[in-house]
Amino acid sequence: MYDILIIGTGPAGYVAAIRAAQLGMKVACIEKSSVGGTCLNIGCIPSKSLLDSSLKYHQLLNEYDEHGIEAKDVKFDLEKMMSRKERVVSQLTNGVEALLKSNKIELIEGSAKILSSESVEVATKDKIEVLTTKNIIISTGSRPSDLPDIKIGDHILDSEGALTLKNVPRNLVVIGAGVIGLELGSVWSRLGSKVTVIEAQHEFLPMLDPRISRQVLREFVSQGLDIRLGCEILDVKETDTGLNINFNDKDEARSLDVEKIILAVGRKPNTKDLFEEDLIPLNEKGFIEVDNYCQTPVKSIWAIGDVVRGPMLAHKASEEAIMVVERIHGLNTELNYDHVPNVIYTHPEIAWVGQSERELKELNVDFKSGSFPFLASGRALAAGETVGSVNITADTHTDRILGIQVFGPSASEILQQGLVAMDNDITSEKFSTTVFSHPTVSEALHEATLAMNNKAIHIQNRKKRS
């Protein structure tokens, strides 16, 4: 009998397995596809590889001239770009397999079905067997969502298909202006596609405060993305050259002929055929019902990552994995879901954590805020990366930092510094006394914190109310 059987080897599953092995448990992972899951194979890692490759090409073509660097006859090799992406993926997945092996974790290639609280049926290419275990962790991840009348095919792609194109489309439509849509739209726009992004919501990136989302929208439009908000898709038809898409754009009928459509309308949990419906409850959206510690109503069955509530993020899944394994081992580990960071890896990056100003107002929280533009950052100016700003909020009475939003260079790295302060309940006053290296873009976070307390040095402070 195993101590833990883990179904799925993505950032949730393999992290759970390694931590369990460290704690001396007998553990096995069941994987029906590829070690590393969606993130390593067809999601986070390959998309970031193409984002970085396409950015280097775009910058060489359009931005280096102001640095006195001239390049003639600039071109790119898409096949080579894709090969590099595959090498990056292969190196990381091989690394995960090596980690599982070095930690003496049994890897079973096959499909799993949970039969009871302590038994799992596994179908491999050779046989079907039933394994017994004290605990089961479900970490089967998610898959792209679709739309009722728009089916994936040769010209209509999901996020996986959009990362394997063999040619750059002359033009394409991205349906969905969220994280995936903006990242994929950026890749193909940089490589020469005319990209139109169609979004049903009337508000752009509503999780951000309006002044940040307005900056982001303005910048992406200047980069060449045609972003249409408040749209309703009427129909999509195949043509001799690709597709014709008809939609209402704020009640005005529009029609576009495009080579490809990328569906980026979110993701849904992978739970089909994993267990009998009466064994573990699902909510109305198909997610497995769990408590704050990712335990299902069946006490020996746990679920983590994309199959449960909360943001579908690899790092959230990994931290849930640690929490669950340590709780199985008898530790009282918890995860602060209020402090899970979010990042969109466009250029510039967008990153946020904690509560937005809008949320704080809705909760009637008395807060103060500070902001600092990268245009006033010496390091950003020297690098030619002056778009965007840092926003930070704190409780007026306790001075505890409540939220940070960053749009600009190295936003994900800047955010992480502020998150360390939040996680350790460091007040904004104390955080503002931290010495930041000069010149760095991180100084923007420092200055925003100073500005919140009317102590900013490199921008004018707001006048105090009399």
Residues annotated as catalytic are 438
Contacts of residue 302, Cβ cutoff 8 Å, sequence gap at least 6 = 135, 136, 137, 138, 290, 294, 295, 296, 324, 328
User: CA 407 to CA 341: how far, in whole Å?
Assistant: 14
- DSSP of 280-291: S-B-TTSPBP--
What are the tokens at 375? 């245009």
| Residue 147 per-residue DSSP state | B
User: CA 209 to CA 314: how far, in whole Å?
Assistant: 24
Percent helix, strand, coil in the chain, to 5, is 35, 25, 40
The answer to whether 122 touches 129, Cβ cutoff 8 Å, is yes
Alpha helices in 255-386 (DSSP H): 314-328, 357-362, 378-383
HSE-CB of 390 using CA atoms within 13 angstroms: 30
The answer to whether 15 touches 322, Cβ cutoff 8 Å, is yes
User: CA 137 to CA 135: how far, in whole Å?
Assistant: 7
The answer to whether 392 touches 243, Cβ cutoff 8 Å, is no
